Chain A
Amino acid sequence: MHRWEGNPALTVDDLPFRANTVFNGTPIETEDGVYLLLRIEGQHGYSFFALARSGNGYHFKIDEKPVMLPDREGPFAIHETKGIEDPRVTILEDTCYVMYTAVGDCGPRIVVAKTDDYVNYERIAVVSEPGNKDGLLFPRKINGRYARFDRPIGQGVGSIWVSYSPDLIHWGDSQAILTPRPGYWDDFRVGASVTPIETPEGWLEIYHGVAMTSAGPIYRAGVALLDLDDPSKVIKRGDSPILAPREPYERIGDVPNVCFACGAVISDPDEVKIYYGAADTSICVATCTMGQLCNEAFD
């Protein structure tokens, strides 16, 4: 991956309001350019969402007001008492859906919402048990059902699962598809990171893997290719990460040593832009070609 020379692309200094950090921004391709739905951590400690707009995908301007705050009334409120985090956009059947993590007193849960204008969001439903996050909606149905990645924790181990739904509300047929690999860079925990990309060879998923050290976790990004009809069949999985913390802005911040991929813009296959959170403190851009992502990334 080639890091943009202007990294970090967005930090808290770029915000028109006071905040602690900006990290994890999911890209949305619009007619006006690339927008980013940002996760902002407020100075009070909980997270909410803001919108950043750019023409070229590198230089962003952030809207004056946040676009989504945790609900303080209504049926979602008790599930969002500790904030809303890690939004991920999927365009499915011409609708812009956002799957995000709501944090309440019983732990994180996955929520699905949608938007027509990227500024106003309508929550649809809470769609997981407590203790689940990293939900990513597939950009099309698989054999007639909606499909998603999610990440429950079973006996302390966090693996990537796939789940299906006839209606976006009731989910089931869950299977574990990618587990942490002892001795590898993703030895401790894995989770889906980027909306899966459909290629002729299969679903390309850029995921995050965590290694635990005596000084804490290291978050890196890696790739896996899954069968188009049955994502539980892993065709191949990269032995090495495609992005690992090296630059000072990836090593230093609120959570050191984090490269957390949030989304990819692939409209130009010679310059795939991957947006990633760095040290939970800023948002950065890295690029590669589609060919590199599908081939060399797995070497």
Chain B
Amino acid sequence: MSVDLSGMFQRRQGRDIVHRWEGNPYITIHDLDFQVSDIHNANAIEFQGQLFLLVTIESLSGVRCIHLARPQHDGVFRVDTQPFLQPSTDPPFAEHESRGVMDVRATCLDGVYYLMYVALGRHGYRLGIAQTASFESVTKIGMVSEPDTKAGALFPKKIGDRFVRLERPSSGSSIWVSYSRDLIHWGDTELVMMPRGGFWDSNRIGVGPVPMETERGWLLIYYGVKDTSAGSIYRIGAAVLDRDDPTKVVGRTGVPILSPRETYERLGDLQNVVFCTGAYLDDRDKLHLFYGASDSCICIGRTTLDEIFDELI
């Protein structure tokens, strides 16, 4: 007697606020011209009217680098074979990046593109900043946090005369804001949001893409983790922060806007992970998200600002 398993893997949309693209996954390791172990997530940044993707890729040996992906004439993204941002061999970066650079968020400020990335070395996870003018070459500026800090994103505007970033130090598993006059020395670090016991984001939270300006304030798409006996479930939510004081949370969705439901989100090198580090708002207030699924492929989703605002509590 044979068992028909086809019903187990039918599409389950789950009525999430974010609508998945019918053709997901968008980029898998099979879409690349070169062999890799995994493709984790993609940040999206507009450059001269085009959308570029900065993709975190894990090499066969296990080291993570950032590769640039540009849209071709047919609109499909082609991932560069050579890394755009990779671990340095020179001090002072070498010992802090030896195990990889990953999870970059690109911000354009006064015409300069800053890339805030996560570096892993023997002392732990630290944030680094690099800059590029036209995505032909990239220059590292410095290591800008102590360990263990991840999920760093630079705001696209200064507040007052200071650069502003969101970050996630591991102690407390929460989202914090920090300020700097020169991108090197950071301070006035304050708490923005903590995990919420009893909610979908009860154990850890962290910034997703760079915050986007809306009429209600900064739209923060963030990830929230709930630990289960079988591991962690990563989901995506949204919050709105006051335009002048990001520590003031104007609203935060009580429910996730996207949860792992499809097979490609539930299965992979990780399980039950949707992780967004790239997004943009178009001129009709539609939000486009690029999210990693189980650290194994990049997917696309879409929703509207109104649908998100409706869920803020």
Contacts of A167 in B (CB 8 A): 185
Chain A CB within 8 A of B179 CB? yes
Give Cα A126–Cα B169 distance, bound, in whole angstroms. Answer: 15
Which residues on the B side are within 8 Å of A175 (C-beta)? Answer: 92
Which residues of chain A have C-beta atoms less than 8 A from B191's C-beta?
Answer: 78, 106
Contact B124 A154 (CB under 8 A): yes
Chain A residues whose CB sits within 8 angstroms of the CB of B145 once the complex forms: 129, 174
Binds B, one of A16-24, A155-163, A244-252, A280-288: A155-163
Q: Is B251 at the interface (CB under 8 A from chain A)? A: no
Is A176 an interface position by the 8 A CB rule? yes
Docked complex: A127-143 residues within 8 A CB-CB of B: 127-132
Instruction: Determine if A129 and B185 form an interchain contact, defined as CB atoms under 8 angstroms apart.
Output: no
For the complex formed, measure the closest distance between the CB of B230 and the CB atoms of chain A, giving whole angstroms. 24
In the complex, identify which listed stretch (B131-139, B170-178, B268-276, B281-289) lies at the interface while the others stay far away. B170-178
B123 beta carbon closer than 8 Å to chain A: yes
Chain B residues lying within 8 Å of A176, measured Cβ to Cβ, are 95, 123
Q: Mark A287-298, 1 if CB is under 8 A from B, else 0.
A: 000000000000
From residue B159, how far is it (CB to closest CB) to chain A in Å? Answer: 14
Which of these, B123, B171, B187, contacts A130 with CB under 8 Å? B171
Task: State which residues 102-129 of A face B: CB under 8 Å.
Answer: 105-108, 125-129
A159 and B123 in contact, given A153-B148, A170-B181 (Cβ under 8 angstroms):
yes
B28 in contact (CB, < 8 A): no
With both chains docked as a complex, state the minimum distance between the C-beta of A158 and any C-beta of chain B, in angstroms.
Answer: 10
B172/A107 in contact, CB under 8 A = yes
Of the candidates A78, A125, A153, A179, the one whose C-beta lies within 8 Å of that of B188 is A125
Chain B stretch 47-74: residues in CB contact (< 8 A) with chain A: none
B194 at the interface (CB under 8 A from A): yes
Most buried by A among B92, B95, B170: B170
Q: How far is the CA of A166 from the CA of B92 in the complex (A)?
A: 20
Which residues from 144 to 166 on chain B have a C-beta closer than 8 Å to any C-beta of chain A?
Answer: 144-149
The interface of chain A, by Cβ under 8 A from chain B, is: 78, 105-108, 125-132, 150, 152-155, 157, 159, 161, 163-167, 169-176, 179
Mark B residues whose CB is within 8 Å of A: 92, 95, 123-126, 142-149, 167, 169-172, 174, 176, 179-182, 184-189, 191, 194
Q: List 17 A-B contacts (CB under 8 A).
A: A105-B172, A106-B191, A126-B189, A128-B189, A129-B169, A130-B169, A131-B171, A131-B172, A132-B146, A152-B124, A152-B147, A153-B147, A154-B147, A161-B146, A165-B187, A173-B184, A175-B92
